[in-house]
Amino acid sequence: MRNKKLYLVIPCYNEEEVLPETAMRLKEKLTELERKQKIDEGSRILFVNDGSRDRTWEIIRTLHEEDPCFGGINLSRNRGHQNALLAGLMTAKEYADMVISMDADLQDDINAVDDMIDKYLEGIDIVYGVRSSRKKDTFFKRATAEGFYKMMNTMGANTVFNHADYRLMSRRALEGLSRFQEVNLFLRGIVPMIGFSWDVVYYERGERFAGESKYPFGKMISFAVEGITSLSTRPIRMITGLGFIIFLVSIGILIYSLVRHYMGATIVGWTTLMVSVWAIGGLILLSLGVVGEYVGKIYLETKSRPRYIIEEILNQEK
């Protein structure tokens, strides 16, 4: 029988509107799970404050003072969802046997937690929460998010389709995760690389019950670029392939212009020339951009900056 102390890890960025409600619902869930003896006593809810500018940290502190089942981590500044999540996971792995991560807005149905824990008890190390539908998301969010997964996969970043960062990980899976030293963090892509047995649990994605999305379109795009360039070098290979094809085309054009030359028709349209100059120029810039992206990554990785800095931890463990 596996040990079953659970930690729920919740990254929070400017979530004062949802936190009290979220805390209440999670506490209810925790009590229910303890009553059913699915988890051990001393299981906790750990909020990570990702440098919020509102009252989020004060709320977490009050929750902790009123009830030790709530813990908190305060990051020194805003580091983004992925780093906040990592800070929570790495702290939780010191105390917990299994850790479930989810968003503060509870868009991911918390009742899927039961199934996740059942799988864990069967011996599975990583359980991914997968959205069975996105009916509640706006059309725009759904289209961009699903396009995002498809693009990621064709670009060589293999992720579980329609899985965000709602997942259960056992302590040894987290130990494995801690050995990935990369600074450009894309957890959804790294977690499958850890290995161990895994499974999925399906759930319906709901609406944010208060506040607004902290992931606007711009952030999603940069998240996608981050994901692709930090996980795979396929875009570079695609550029190389493109360069090769263009080279073949240019040989064709060379032969064509020689033939035209010997036929005496030397002035081949200005238009063609302009178009190709622009096309090639554009392609070169594009390629440079992609290469630059990776060079920038190397630059950042060689600095091996800390991925997060904790200012304070609230947790009562013996």
Instruction: Give which of 182, 221, 220, 191 is closest to 300, Cα–Cα.
Output: 182
Q: How far is the CB of 207 from Mg ion (least distance, A)?
A: 9
Q: Across the beta sheet with 98-101, what order do the strands follow? A: 198-204, 126-133, 167-170, 98-101, 6-12, 44-49, 70-75, 310-314
In angstroms, what is the C-alpha Rg of the chain?
Answer: 25
The answer to whether 107 contacts ligand UDP (rule: CB under 6 A) is yes
Q: How far is the CB of 108 from Mg ion (least distance, A)?
A: 8
Query: Which residues lie closer than 8 Å to 29 by C-beta, 6 or more apart?
Result: 110, 113
CA atoms within 13 A on the CB side of 162: 17
Q: Which two tokens stand for residue 130?
A: 């997968």
User: For ligand UDP, what does the binding mask look like between residues 125 and 154, x meaning CB under 6 A?
Assistant: ------------------------------
Residues 103-132 touching Mg ion, rule: CB under 5 A, are 103, 105, 107
The answer to whether 165 contacts Mg ion (rule: CB under 5 A) is no
| Residue nearer to Mg ion on the CB measure, 59 or 69 | 59
The answer to whether 80 contacts ligand UDP (rule: CB under 6 A) is yes
The answer to whether 6 contacts ligand UDP (rule: CB under 6 A) is no
The answer to whether 86 contacts ligand UDP (rule: CB under 6 A) is no
The answer to whether 15 contacts Mg ion (rule: CB under 5 A) is no
CB 241 within 8 A of CB 248: no
The answer to whether 45 contacts ligand UDP (rule: CB under 6 A) is no
Instruction: Give which of 51, 75, 61 is closest to 23, Cα–Cα.
Output: 61
The answer to whether 12 contacts ligand UDP (rule: CB under 6 A) is yes
Total residues contacting Mg ion by CB under 5 A comes to 3
Of these partners, ligand UDP, Mg ion, none, which one is at the site of residue 226 (CB under 5 to 8 Å by kind)?
none
Instruction: Give which of 280, 288, 281, 291 is closest to 245, Cα–Cα.
Output: 280
Neighbours of 31 (CB within 10 A): 12
The answer to whether 64 contacts ligand UDP (rule: CB under 6 A) is no
CB 230 within 8 A of CB 189: yes
Total residues contacting ligand UDP by CB under 6 A comes to 16
Residues that bind ligand UDP (CB under 6 A): 11-13, 15, 50, 78, 80-81, 84, 103-105, 107, 213-215
Q: Which residues lie near Mg ion (CB under 5 A)?
A: 103, 105, 107
